[in-house]
Structure 1
Amino acid sequence: MKIEEIYQCFLQCESISTDTRKIESNSLFVALKGDNFDANTFAQEALNKGALFVIIDNKNYYSDQDKMILVNDSLKTLQDLANYHRNQLGLPIVALTGSNGKTTTKELINCVLSKKYNTKATIGNLNNHIGVPLTLLSFDENTDIGIVEMGANHQKEIELLCNIAEPDFGYITNFGKAHLEGFGGFEGVIKGKSELYTYLQENHKTAFVNLDDPIQVEKTKALNKYTFSSSDNSDIKINSTIANPLVKVDFSNNTTIQSHLIGIYNANNINAAITIGKYFNIEDIDIKNAIENYIPSNNRSQLIEKNGNHIILDAYNANPSSMNAALTNLIQLESTQKIAVLGDMFELGSESIEEHKKIIESLKKEENINVYFIGKDFYHNKVSQKHLFFFETFDNFSKEYQNKIQNATILIKGSRGMALERTLELL
């Protein structure tokens, strides 16, 4: 069956799903395969639960010619269908990627643009080779602008996602030490993320660029771009940014935004949303209101008050770049008592031990901060200093942590697999 015919089946459906546990009536179910599962085995179950059509790629489960669409590769069909749908709609799409801050920036952009347009954006972190197609297929004829987050942990992944989404605009938050194992080091990260810039250049599209980032400047020399910076040589000048602990930004004609975001590392996420809003002719007051009303969730830079302590919960994920940014922010905060609870950073490959060691080294002289390191890689690099404490597991930490301190500023930061939000129960 040709993609045009499959698309007509899609148009008859009210939603799309790849999970039989979340099947809705009159939906299109796409049977995908993974290392440990084959959703083709659930094709009939999907129909029984109300799916209108199912796409399968295993002929052994092809039992209903009217409702089952047999293809060579279900995943490739999902991606092709999303690309076809994107081109049928013809709406402008803003794509963003980067090592840190993607989801927060995406949500801020969505808040700003929705002040004037009917926008739809990536839900949660559905930003991979499956999530991006599902995001595109959620757009409809009422969508004015689509906002697509793109994640990657190896070369050519952003290139694939760009070929599916065909973005008109792109923004890279930063290049950081994330997914070093998959990308093959920091230079590999820059190369992989810059695949978005390559697509934009080859297709004569527009990049939003932070001119205060020298790597971004170098990588976008040949691009059409709309820029922001702290200097006068950009399209949008950011007059000032401070964070103590919440970020405050001044832009344009002395418009000041007091956000609910913690840490100076979130400033450029805000600045990007301001810049994209200005490009799409959003009024300054609407940009201000949109960003000031945005409250982060899901363990991303949340400020929590508990037992007299100011807790910065940033436990959604971590890599050396975001860890250093969070610690730099903690160091500059005005607080007499500071604590950091830091968990291991994952997916660093052969550089993991060295990168954890660098974090420890950076904190040796910060004797006014009590630091609790949790995880095997931090523990491997343990040193003897009175303000640094090391625990191989979270259970060991939870058993020994007896510090019932109050009126402190506490940073909680680690990779998702460390689940450091559990620390809240100990405070």
Structure 2
Amino acid sequence: MSLVVNDIIPQLQAEFFGNHPENSIQNVSIDSRSLQNNEFTLFFCIIGPNHNGHDYIQELIEKGVKNFVVSQVVNPTPEINFLKVEDTLVALQQFAAFYRKKFSFPIIGVTGSNGKTIVKEWLNFLLSPDYNIIRSPKSYNSQVGVPLSVIGINEQHNLGIFEAGISTVNEMQKLEAIIHPTIGILTNIGSAHDEGFENLGQKIKEKLKLFPNVDVLIYNKNKSIDAFLNPNIKTFSWSSSDKSADVLIHHKTTNDKTSLNITIDKTCFKINIPFSDEASIENVIQCLMVMFYFKYDFDTIQNRLSLLYPIEMRLKVKKGINNTTIIDDSYSSDFQSLKIALDFLESQKQHHKKTLILSDIFQSGLENDELYSRVSQMVISNKINRVIGVGETISHYKHKFLNGITFLSQADFLAHFDSLQFENETILIKGARSFHFEEIVSLLEEKTHETVLEINLNALSHNYNFYKAKLKPETKMMVMVKAFSYGNGGLEIAKLLEYLKADYLGVAFADEGIALKSNGIHLPIMVLNPESTSFEAIIQHELEPEIYSLKGLNAFLKIAKQKHLKDFPIHLKIDTGMHRLGFDEIHLEELISILKNCKTVQVKSILSHMATSDDLAHHDFALEQIEKFNRISTYISAALEISPIRHILNTSGISNYPQAQFDMVRLGIGLYGISNDANEQKFLENVGTLKSVISQIRTIQAGESVGYGRRFIAEKETKIATIPIGYADGIRRSWGNGLGFVVINNQKASIVGSVCMDMLMVDITDIPCVEGNEVIILGENPSVSFMAAKLSTIPYEILTGISQRVKRIFYRE
């Protein structure tokens, strides 16, 4: 991108405030946290439900940004350009549409409910030997993601592949204007985002709005779609049953492979592909149709399709050897996704030292000199301490990287692995698939058993923003990360919450807070259940104790005075009816007398805890608690002449008692995707998925038993799979004996016999599977709430019961 501000002003119909319309624009940003913002950035101050980009203008100016698109009045500054528009999101989309028109090469637009990202990535693999491709990074397919993707086009590209996702009506027209595809692909229409549409017909009609100007639309022919197709659009269709389709395709699956029997233009032939599941087969066929349209010969099609592989679309955070943290992005290496990965590294760095392991970069659309100069600049901006390059091309540009080490091949890297001394650092591993960087990940990853808890950071962000949107703009948010973040993993989630600009973190005990502070968390941390023996450590690590009794207050003040502290933050807890911890009303006068004119501590907040916020049957009691809290906290504040933060609401309270937000709320289990309100649950996303594998399969005969105590006896010949997870990992023993189940290849497998300490056994008689196949223990199905209900307990107990010997893997889509 090479534009000047003057080029952009008329495209956005912007009012210009500034003295430098000649400023060069080389990149666009909407994220103030990105370390890639600089003097050549055009920053769009987007106003979202939770953040207002205008709030970060001064911070960005200090980082060197000089050009802003705004919709709110700002103070003019001589060196800064402001382009004032009505709506900054609309302006971003207008800018992207303007930029798209500068290029005339073919653009493939992909939409549908399922398979968009897979089809896009596979098409990139299949066509990249012949084209210089620009594509959406990861799954950037939203009203914001699409313009950011399109802005990545440069003069060297000659084919684009962009995906478009919508969640309701009147969204696709905006994306069509930005992508303006010449070739359309409609993937499978499923149930995703059903809540945003009146019916299936409306969903199809909205999806098709991406294609009014395409030269051709590729789709799986069926009557539901045909009913809404514009007859003037040229189509290239396929089907397994409708003989009027342009291509007829039947398939036969054997083991893990599938044969496609194809009839096109009265010619019949067969192609083998390395997949057996229906979704992958359909996605491969969509790609096959594009290759037919591009006139590829049979041998090339067969050869390239046979090399297709499962796509890993997630950035994963893993624990590494020698106190390292691994960010695994080992299946792609392109310029656009490198920017995203570096921003993700910044949000998840857990050590001061940051290392980048990077392969040669393909499909950038840039000449190598310019490409690696830009990569070098990104490395400098993101303050990467060490770059390890792998590949002949990046080795040639070793001189562009301070503290750069390069190897000609992955084998060369592995041979020198021991000399590289990885320890106490965060390592981003990013490589094209041909470099097989998964072997590097395997070497660096801490070795644990095959059961893992995968934590979806996108879902955490979604749930955080869902509750944030319920708050008044001025209401602060404390997020509870106690009990290892409800079993999900403390530090990684705290890092994300810091990135999301939460106001406070809450832990139960001092050691949890100390661990977070010791690993670089800067957010203020409240310790809710501090023991008097931990006060010294709380002071040392600058944690903030909740004080709930006169005894505790006097003990803390004694230590604080010995250390000559001044205005050390404390938080007063009032008992308003929970009768667990907190000052009783009868102690208020003594409390006030102790704190009056006390310079040693500062009352940072006053809080209480609701007992029945989740149960509307006790609505009146909840209102009594809120009224009592308001009265007592107001009285304390007036008596001490202070203006503390006041907070009483937990997750359920945020939804059920919005009038009682006071100054701050405390988000707990809702962050992790669980609500006791069935309607609200629909809007939350599942965060954790507990997975394992099949260790062994055996067949037993009628009359034979499984497990301790022979609690399961087969009535017929039965196939049994053993899974390496048990009650030591957090699976209740009572979940066995036919009550519970796991999911294997999308089918339920009932647990037979008792759950053992380290294993459980399931009936797979009617499920096609092999040893090593993935097993879902807990996630969307069965959900935490479902399991808790069956076991007559609460979701908290299920989540916090997952053992810390189970490895946590954090990922972002």
Using the size of structure 1 for normalisation, the TM-score is: 0.67
**Residues 227 and 70 of structure 1, relative CA distance in 2, 3 Å threshold:** same
CA distance in 2 between partners of 1:226 and 1:351 (Å) = 41
Which of these residues, 738, 749, 753, is aligned with residue 386 of structure 1? Answer: 738
Q: Tell me if structure 2 keeps the 8 A contact 1:40–1:61.
A: no
State the shift of 1:78 in Å: 0.4
Corresponding residue of 1:68: 82
Q: Tell me if structure 2 keeps the 8 A contact 1:317–1:415.
A: no
Corresponding residue of 2:759: 403
State the shift of 1:294 in Å: 3.6
1:129 is aligned to 2:485: no
Q: Tell me if structure 2 keeps the 8 A contact 1:317–1:414.
A: no
1:256 is aligned to 2:267: no
Corresponding residue of 2:249: 238
Corresponding residue of 2:60: 46
1:3 is aligned to 2:17: no
Which of these residues, 87, 103, 107, is aligned with residue 117 of structure 2? Answer: 103
Corresponding residue of 1:200: 211
State the shift of 1:307 in Å: 11
1:213-228 to structure 2, matched below 5 A, reads 213-220=222-229, 222=231, 223-228=233-238
Offset from partner CA, 1:236-275 (integer Å, 9 cap, x none): 443535263355545576453433x562221110000111
CA distance in 2 between partners of 1:402 and 1:48 (Å) = 55
Q: Tell me if structure 2 keeps the 8 A contact 1:92–1:168.
A: yes
**Residues 249 and 65 of structure 1, relative CA distance in 2, 3 Å threshold:** farther
Amino acid paired to 1:192: K
Corresponding residue of 2:104: 90
Amino acid paired to 1:3: Q
CA distance in 1 between partners of 2:76 and 2:289 (Å) = 50
CA distance in 2 between partners of 1:9 and 1:124 (Å) = 34
Q: Tell me if structure 2 keeps the 8 A contact 1:172–1:193.
A: no
1:293-308 to structure 2, matched below 5 A, reads 293-298=308-313
State the shift of 1:120 in Å: 1.1
Which of these residues, 38, 43, 47, is aligned with residue 33 of structure 1? Answer: 47
For structure 2, list consecutive stretches of 5 or more residues without a partner in the other structure: 1-8, 15-19, 316-330, 332-446, 460-672, 683-717, 724-734, 744-750, 762-769, 785-798, 809-813
**Which has the larger displacement, 221-230 or 270-279?**
221-230
Corresponding residue of 2:126: 112
CA distance in 2 between partners of 1:281 and 1:345 (Å) = 50
**Which has the larger displacement, 102-111 or 18-27?**
18-27
Q: Tell me if structure 2 keeps the 8 A contact 1:43–1:56.
A: no
1:57 is aligned to 2:71: yes
State the shift of 1:226 in Å: 0.9
Corresponding residue of 1:267: 281
1:176 is aligned to 2:176: no
CA distance in 1 between partners of 2:204 and 2:187 (Å) = 10
CA distance in 2 between partners of 1:227 and 1:235 (Å) = 5
Q: Tell me if structure 1 keeps the 8 A contact 2:131–2:159.
A: yes
1:143-158 to structure 2, matched below 5 A, reads 143-158=157-172
Corresponding residue of 1:377: none
Offset from partner CA, 1:290-331 (integer Å, 9 cap, x none): 44244411469x9xxx999999x9x9999xxxxxxxxxxxxx
1:210 is aligned to 2:224: no
Q: Tell me if structure 2 keeps the 8 A contact 1:112–1:282.
A: no
**Residues 84 and 179 of structure 1, relative CA distance in 2, 3 Å threshold:** same
Amino acid paired to 1:36: N
CA distance in 1 between partners of 2:223 and 2:449 (Å) = 41
CA distance in 2 between partners of 1:194 and 1:237 (Å) = 25
Amino acid paired to 1:280: F
**Residues 101 and 62 of structure 1, relative CA distance in 2, 3 Å threshold:** farther
**Residues 297 and 77 of structure 1, relative CA distance in 2, 3 Å threshold:** same
Structure with the larger RCO, 1 or 2 (CA within 8 Å, 6+ apart): 1
1:80 is aligned to 2:436: no
Q: Secondary structure at the match of 2:101?
A: helix
Amino acid paired to 1:13: I
**Which has the larger displacement, 231-240 or 123-132?**
231-240
For structure 1, list consecutive stretches of 5 or more residues without a partner in the other structure: 319-343, 353-366, 373-382, 392-396
Which of these residues, 22, 26, 30, is aligned with residue 18 of structure 1? Answer: 30
Corresponding residue of 1:394: none
Q: Secondary structure at the match of 2:157?
A: coil
State the shift of 1:144 in Å: 1.5
State the shift of 1:135 in Å: 1.1
Pick the structure with greater CA Rg. 2
**Residues 12 and 60 of structure 1, relative CA distance in 2, 3 Å threshold:** closer
CA distance in 2 between partners of 1:74 and 1:233 (Å) = 47
C-alpha root-mean-square deviation of aligned residues, in Å? 4.8
**Residues 63 and 316 of structure 1, relative CA distance in 2, 3 Å threshold:** closer
CA distance in 1 between partners of 2:13 and 2:31 (Å) = 23
**Residues 18 and 61 of structure 1, relative CA distance in 2, 3 Å threshold:** farther
Corresponding residue of 1:140: 154
Which of these residues, 153, 163, 166, is aligned with residue 177 of structure 2? Answer: 163
State the shift of 1:289 in Å: 4.3
Q: Tell me if structure 1 keeps the 8 A contact 2:176–2:209.
A: no
State the shift of 1:368 in Å: 6.5
Q: Percent identity over the alignment?
A: 23
Q: Tell me if structure 1 keeps the 8 A contact 2:674–2:681.
A: no
Q: Secondary structure at the match of 1:94?
A: strand
